[in-house]
Structure 1
């Protein structure tokens, strides 16, 4: 027994002696060595705290630590209904970030700050979901953050106490913390890349167009953006009244409703918001004296983004973003599924019948909706929901003077994380499948062939090169045998990431030309579209395709 106790004490001493301690303005922070690579982890560092008297409003600064803060908890999540388990859990003490630092650092290292996806309703930035192993080995610091989700992060009211966009404001506070403190961890505060995937990419683009200061030096926008459907909404003072009523308190006074809701368990609030399918997205705020805002104008009406002038950007999509959704809905309900009906959200009612017929014929002709036209249905839903909106972001970035590298991820392998999760084997890369080739994630433990890891090695090397140099392929190597050219409005170069790397120009150009014409004619400028000359050039070709 005494030998066992001695051994345990020796192990504890070894861990403590290897654990790095960082002096910060808030006190000392002790990290821990990683068990899967030569890097140190600082997990769960609070960058702000939710105000218990106003959990739907602005966060507060963090008080100083008493003693050493043990940065060893990477499991904290904000209140949400989790995607995989469907379980409602989380805490409002969730405004934390995780920092991963290579042990070999001698000089200041460039920094990659990751914002997770999840429709702004679920997700977290912890190491089990976004493990940094494959990125930090390339000599960069990786930081991931949590931010409030659902009604706590995206309730938008016409009152200064809850003016809206709190999730984005949480992210802003995290970015300020990183800018001010990352050098204490060996990072370069003048070399920060902001990186988001899915709704995280939406977040990144909102930061690019917000009125807040620029807290980064370059950005990665992966499978998302402000043109993606339903990314903005109006303020709505009925929401707290609806939630309070559902949870047992009827009132027409928004302040009384908020006072009631702050005392309700977060799980019940999330359950109520989920039941009513409340949309978690950005809103156009009203200005209030003494209240820091985030977004005051409709982002679709902004033609150029001053923050992106000369800004290195890495922007792209997968080649079959909606593969999983279309496949599952079509196989579950083959007679009742009709993705073309989603056009109703954008087309005036008096034009809907004609628009429906034209779009449907363009993609599937006169064929019935069935598995026989599965690929065409995936193409339509992907184009409409992700690919074409993402391309509009690319064009706006280019018109704003960005130095932009454009990509499409097309590889289908053993680390396409959502296809692996759902045991779907049809070809193509679904939304979020590319994440498995950048991060170490619990979904993919033990998964991956030699070819899969070759694709992973290439992607992580290019992403890390971009973080370091603002160029994903600064030199030709055996691993990266292609020089990735920048895109321009005249020559929209892109890199296709498949089993082999290849270059192309203007992805899906025939289909996107169709959508240029469609929006010009049917949506009545509901979105801002660029390149009118391109539309005119393609009119005859598109009409030929329709016929």
Structure 2
């Protein structure tokens, strides 16, 4: 009781008693949160389950997020929203979540316009699982240092990272969710006591990769003030989808479908439940097929997160010129050893042929550098895991730092987390392997409260490390300097890296400043990369081509104006050339008959090839269902424009131009014989149909009349 009274008295001193049910206004409406207490007893405000985007349901699945909708009245913000669909990796190992999951949580010590620095956390999970839930990332300790903390959900797996290389599904929807969340925070955080001009983005593992990409993306230009990249970086070749359409086809196949065309793929996957998609994604992941980041194709006004190699953006100095903290743990990965062949651990981006002289030489260098004796067997496990950690994370982190120092005018702070305590998330796992290192995720136990370790009894040294970590991270968020002054907890001055020295802070039982971590190993890899890595060999743009056909049903009647008939065929011929191996030079002619002919007999009629704008199209008519002016179905002869050899001539019989690919336009009937969709060529009036429109514009015009895609 005495403690409660003291806390209430302190709250009064800070400017009045905290409201039990605080209400805040945002652009979409009002939110009612709640007051909670940190483990030390300090009260702060919690607002959870805030929608930052429209639910990505129905036709919005796989697409970029849309701005959140407004609501009437006061919205309850006292509990978290659903996590995004995934397989729970920790507890149930079963499907969980809901597609209506684009929510964020805000924790703040003050609502009275204090303009506190804001820390936005991006969770990890390999872009397949995770969430911003307080059960994993409780903000208690950070908020105690007078910062506003925001945690977010974003779409995962195929739901967040499917790419068909089309304007409709260009990829990276999950990253675009994060961008949309940051924009929402920028516009609204002042209502929660936060400074919209001081946003620090930080993330670990997959969240570290996402944070790195945000520093290079034009979509977040001028949005973020600082970044903390933990145990993951966008330099890592493994985080990208090399063949996103191929991955999409594999997803369809494992679900029992056979779609090849990207429109058919999208239709199939849109008709599949989220649970089936997630379970199929997990099966593919076990075979090494991951739905990760895509280098997006550029499509006019379609906003992209990343349209070129991260290497290019970084090395050319086009990353955000902001202070950055970046680092990793001493033993990042503990994956099962599947092979004793050290060639398996030569980075893929070096493009070194297996069993070549170069490959064998590098493997021998790895063996002599990392292993004291044999590189096989249980006795070499620790050395093997150090090698694995280097090739998967540490080398990329080291190279990222070296590139940053060459191009950035702002400080870059490099760290190594090497503390082993009771709050390390991986302590039990590593102890069971006989290892005494800080593992992947371990620093998070000292930054966040977590349900998994809530009953762990922390030692005094653990509590000291927690205080150090929280101070370093929040100091950086406040000023861009993690050690503005020395004190009992921060006993050293953390120097930023320079061209001559890669200074780093070793976060061990005691803090110490060092230079060039793991120098011998990093020098070896620097030499290998200098010799074999070629930036121009890396995927600089997305080159996988989308194969698609657009089915447009065109029905005409005897009363259809000839101009309409010519317009429809002109659109079709203009944008429907098809690739063929057969090249034929034909003389230039001028058609004298309409390109669409109306036959009164249902018998198929063959017509001779005609030349339109120097493109030969073989036409064929067949009976299909059409609708007459009275709405009655009847059989008419309508020409069907099928993919046929395309012959292009400029009038010179000795010159042949290469045909190009395009969409297929044809009429499609449903099993019952009726057209799937019908455009009446005499409705709307002739003057209302735009002239000289391409296929895409024609489809848009068709859809504006109420037709379906």
Q: TM-score range by the shorter chain?
A: 0.7 to 0.9
**Count of matched residue positions in the alignment of Structure 1 and Structure 2:** 505
Q: Name the structure 2 match of 1:535.
A: none
Q: CA deviation at 1:63?
A: 1.2
Distance 1:526 1:510, change over 3 A: farther
Q: How does 1:82-93 map to 2 (within 5 A)?
A: 82-84=88-90, 85-93=92-100
SS in 2 for 1:315: strand
Q: How does 1:503-522 map to 2 (within 5 A)?
A: 503-522=513-532
- Once the two structures are superposed, what CA deviation does each residue of 1:304-327 show, in whole Å capped at 9, x if it has no partner? 333433x211111111112x33xx
Q: Name the structure 2 match of 1:178.
A: 185
2:79 counterpart (63, 73, 92): 73
1:371 counterpart (365, 369, 378): 378
1:298 counterpart (304, 309, 312): 309
Q: How does 1:274-423 map to 2 (within 5 A)?
A: 274-277=282-285, 278-302=289-313, 303-309=315-321, 311-322=322-333, 324-325=334-335, 329=336, 340-343=343-346, 345=348, 346=350, 347-349=352-354, 350=356, 351-364=358-371, 366-401=373-408, 402-420=410-428
Q: Which structure has the highest helix share of the two?
A: 1
Q: CA deviation at 1:355?
A: 2.3
Q: CA deviation at 1:422?
A: 6.5
SS in 2 for 1:480: coil
- 1:42 equivalent to 2:47? Answer yes
1:64 counterpart (67, 70, 77): 70
Distance 1:372 1:421 in 2: 17
SS in 1 for 2:195: strand
Q: Name the structure 2 match of 1:244.
A: 252
SS in 1 for 2:489: coil
Asked whether the 8 Å contact 2:244–2:294 carries over to 1, the reply is: no
Identify which of structures 1 and 2 has the higher relative contact order when contacts are C-alpha pairs closer than 8 Å and 6+ apart: 1
Q: Name the structure 1 match of 2:22.
A: 20
In the TM superposition, structure 1's runs of 4+ consecutive aligned residues that sit over 6 Å from their partners are: none
Distance 1:395 1:179 in 2: 31
SS in 2 for 1:317: strand
Q: Name the structure 2 match of 1:532.
A: none
Q: Name the structure 2 match of 1:430.
A: 439
Asked whether the 8 Å contact 1:39–1:103 carries over to 2, the reply is: yes
Q: How does 1:93-172 map to 2 (within 5 A)?
A: 93-103=100-110, 107-172=114-179
Q: Name the structure 1 match of 2:504.
A: 494
| Structure 2: segments with no counterpart, 5+ residues | 1-17, 539-709
- 1:469 equivalent to 2:482? Answer no
Asked whether the 8 Å contact 1:308–1:397 carries over to 2, the reply is: no
Which structure is larger by alpha-carbon Rg, 1 or 2? 2
Q: CA deviation at 1:449?
A: 1.3
- Once the two structures are superposed, what CA deviation does each residue of 1:13-43 show, in whole Å capped at 9, x if it has no partner? xxx9611100112110111112434111111
- Once the two structures are superposed, what CA deviation does each residue of 1:376-398 show, in whole Å capped at 9, x if it has no partner? 22221111111111011111221
- Once the two structures are superposed, what CA deviation does each residue of 1:134-155 show, in whole Å capped at 9, x if it has no partner? 1000000000111111001111
Asked whether the 8 Å contact 2:81–2:103 carries over to 1, the reply is: no
Distance 1:488 1:360 in 2: 31
Distance 1:520 1:503 in 2: 28
Asked whether the 8 Å contact 2:110–2:192 carries over to 1, the reply is: no
Asked whether the 8 Å contact 2:211–2:229 carries over to 1, the reply is: yes
Distance 2:183 2:117 in 1: 16
Q: Name the structure 2 match of 1:543.
A: none
Q: Name the structure 1 match of 2:224.
A: 216
Q: CA deviation at 1:221?
A: 0.7
Q: How does 1:184-199 map to 2 (within 5 A)?
A: 184-199=191-206
Distance 2:381 2:112 in 1: 50
TM-score by length of 1: 0.88
Asked whether the 8 Å contact 2:367–2:375 carries over to 1, the reply is: no
- 1:263 equivalent to 2:271? Answer yes
Distance 1:155 1:219 in 2: 26
TM-score by length of 2: 0.68
